[in-house]
C-alpha cells in the first residue's frame, strides 16, 4: 500500500531532499546537490520564488520507506499574466513502479483542478533559472550540477500515464582546442568599431556587482520571446545575486556595453564542478568545500550557463566579442571542453550562435504535458 505524506516539517523536508541520495546511490552519472542549498530552495521563507508561486511537496511511502517524491507548483505570474492555465510538477524522483508515479501525480492533478487549471507540465521548477526536464537520451555521461538527472524508466512512466512531449531541450558539447579564434578576433574588431561596443572583463566579484541588476533586466528582455519564459522579479534578482554571482569566477562573466554605457550582451560560464559535487556528496563540510574550491581553481571543462543579447543587437555578431574574451580566459585556465546547458530545441537564435563550433548533442531532455 502506498501512503502519500505532505511535507510540512524540517524532518520531512530533509527526507524529501535526501531520498535521491539513496535512489541513485549506485549510479555513476548522478550528481548530488548540496543538501542545505536544496533545503533553502524549497523554503518559502528563503526563496522569493514563493512570492509568485504556490507549491506543495509530497513523499510516497510504502511500509514506512520512501519510494518517491514530487512537488506540485503553480506559478501565478504565468497563470494570471501569461494566461497559461498550467500546474507544474518538479523535484520528481521515484522507484521503478508505475503505481507510485501515478499516486504522486494525482496530488499534482488535485492542485490544478482546485484552481481550475487545464493542464499539467513537468518536470519543471519555479522559474527559468531552475532545473528542467526528464532525460530521454544520454545516460552515459556524468550529469551537470545544474540539471536534474533520472533513470530511463521516468520517460516510460509518463508516457504510460498519457503524457505527451511538450518541450525538447538539447545539451551540446564541443572541443575548445578545435576552435579557430582568428575569425572571431577579426569579427570582434569590426563589430566593436561599427557599433562602438566595449567588452568588459573582470578580476573581482566586487567589480561585477554594480551591473548585476542590469544583467537580470537584460536576461528578462532577451529571453522574453521564448514560450516557456517567466520573468524574474526584483526580489529574485537579489536572491540569485547572493546565491550565484559570488560562486562564479569573475573572469568567466563577460559584459558588452554600447557607447552610452548600456549593457547590451552578457555571458556567464561556470567551471564544471560535477565531479567535485560527486565527491562532496551533498555536504560542504568537512571536505566538500575543499573539492569544490580545488575544481574552481583547476578544471578543463566549463559550462556555458547563460548568454543574453539585447534583441536590438541580435544577429549583428555581438557574440564574437564575448567568444574572443572567453578564448583568452579559457587558454589561461587550460580549458579543453565546453558544454552547453539545456537549450530549447526550437530556440534557433541560440543554436545559430554555436553552429560554427561543430557542437555534438550528447543529451536530450523534455518536459511532458497532460490535459486535466
Cell 512512466 belongs to which residue? 157
What pLDDT, on the 0 to 100 scale, is given for residue 239? 86
Distance, in Å, from the CA atom of 69 to the CA atom of 269, rounded to the nearest integer, reads 31
Q: Which residue from 29, 317, 332, 15 is spatially nearest to 186, judged by alpha carbons?
A: 317
What pLDDT, on the 0 to 100 scale, is given for residue 226? 73
Cα–Cα separations (whole angstroms), residue 225 to 6, 77, 345, 356: 36, 16, 14, 24
pTM for the model: 0.93
How far does Cα 1 stand from its chain's mean position?
35
Instruction: Output b/e per residue, 183-207; b: 16+ Cβ within 10 A.
Output: ebeebbeebbeebebebbebeeeee
The CA-to-CA distance between both ends of the chain, in Å, stands at 25
Distance, in Å, from the CA atom of 224 to the CA atom of 238, rounded to the nearest integer, reads 20
Query: What residue ranges define each of the domains in the chain, with the CATH number in brackets?
Result: 2-169 (3.40.630.30), 174-364 (3.40.630.30)
Q: Which residue from 308, 309, 202 is spatially nearest to 248, judged by alpha carbons?
A: 202
Q: Which residues of the chain, if any, have pLDDT below 50?
A: none
What pLDDT, on the 0 to 100 scale, is given for residue 227? 67
Amino acid at each position: 500500500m502506498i501512503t502519500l505524506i505532505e511535507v510540512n516539517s524540517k524532518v520531512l523536508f530533509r527526507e524529501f531532499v535526501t531520498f535521491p541520495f539513496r535512489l541513485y546511490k549506485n549510479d555513476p552519472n548522478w550528481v548530488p546537490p548540496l543538501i542545505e542549498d536544496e533545503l533553502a530552495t524549497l523554503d518559502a521563507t528563503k526563496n522569493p520564488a514563493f512570492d509568485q508561486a504556490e507549491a506543495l511537496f509530497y513523499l510516497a511511502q510504502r511500509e514506512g520507506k520512501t519510494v518517491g517524491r514530487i512537488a506540485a507548483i503553480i506559478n501565478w505570474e504565468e497563470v494570471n499574466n501569461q494566461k497559461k492555465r498550467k500546474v507544474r510538477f518538479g523535484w520528481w524522483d521515484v522507484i521503478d513502479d508505475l503505481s507510485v508515479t501515478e499516486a504522486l501525480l494525482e496530488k499534482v492533478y488535485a492542485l490544478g483542478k482546485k484552481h481550475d487549471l487545464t493542464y499539467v507540465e513537468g518536470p519543471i521548477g519555479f522559474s527559468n533559472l531552475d532545473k528542467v526536464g526528464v532525460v530521454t537520451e544520454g545516460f552515459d555521461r556524468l550529469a551537470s550540477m545544474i540539471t536534474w538527472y533520472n533513470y530511463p524508466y521516468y520517460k516510460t512512466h509518463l508516457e504510460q500515464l498519457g503524457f505527451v512531449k511538450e518541450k525538447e531541450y538539447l545539451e551540446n558539447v564541443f572541443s575548445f582546442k578545435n576552435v579557430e579564434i582568428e575569425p572571431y578576433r577579426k569579427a570582434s574588431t569590426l563589430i566593436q568599431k561599427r557599433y562602438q561596443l566595449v567588452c568588459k572583463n573582470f578580476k573581482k566579484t566586487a567589480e561585477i556587482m554594480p551591473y548585476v541588476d542590469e544583467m537580470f533586466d537584460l536576461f528578462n528582455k532577451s529571453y522574453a520571446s521564448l514560450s516557456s519564459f517567466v520573468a524574474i522579479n526584483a526580489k529574485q534578482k537579489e536572491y540569485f545575486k547572493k546565491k550565484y554571482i559570488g560562486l562564479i569566477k569573475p573572469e568567466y562573466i563577460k559584459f558588452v556595453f554600447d557607447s552610452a554605457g548600456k549593457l547590451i550582451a552578457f555571458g556567464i560560464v561556470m567551471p564544471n564542478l560535477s565531479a567535485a559535487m560527486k565527491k562532496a556528496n551533498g555536504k560542504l563540510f568537512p571536505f566538500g568545500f575543499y573539492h569544490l574550491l580545488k575544481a574552481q581553481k583547476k578544471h578543463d571543462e566549463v559550462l556555458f550557463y547563460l548568454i543574453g543579447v539585447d534583441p536590438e543587437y541580435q544577429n549583428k555578431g555581438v557574440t564574437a566579442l564575448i567568444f574572443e574574451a572567453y578564448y583568452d580566459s579559457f587558454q589561461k585556465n587550460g580549458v579543453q571542453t565546453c558544454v552547453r546547458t539545456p537549450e530549447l530545441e526550437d530556440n534557433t537564435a541560440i543554436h545559430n550562435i554555436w553552429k560554427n563550433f561543430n557542437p555534438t548533442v550528447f543529451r536530450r531532455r523534455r518536459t511532458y504535458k497532460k490535459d486535466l
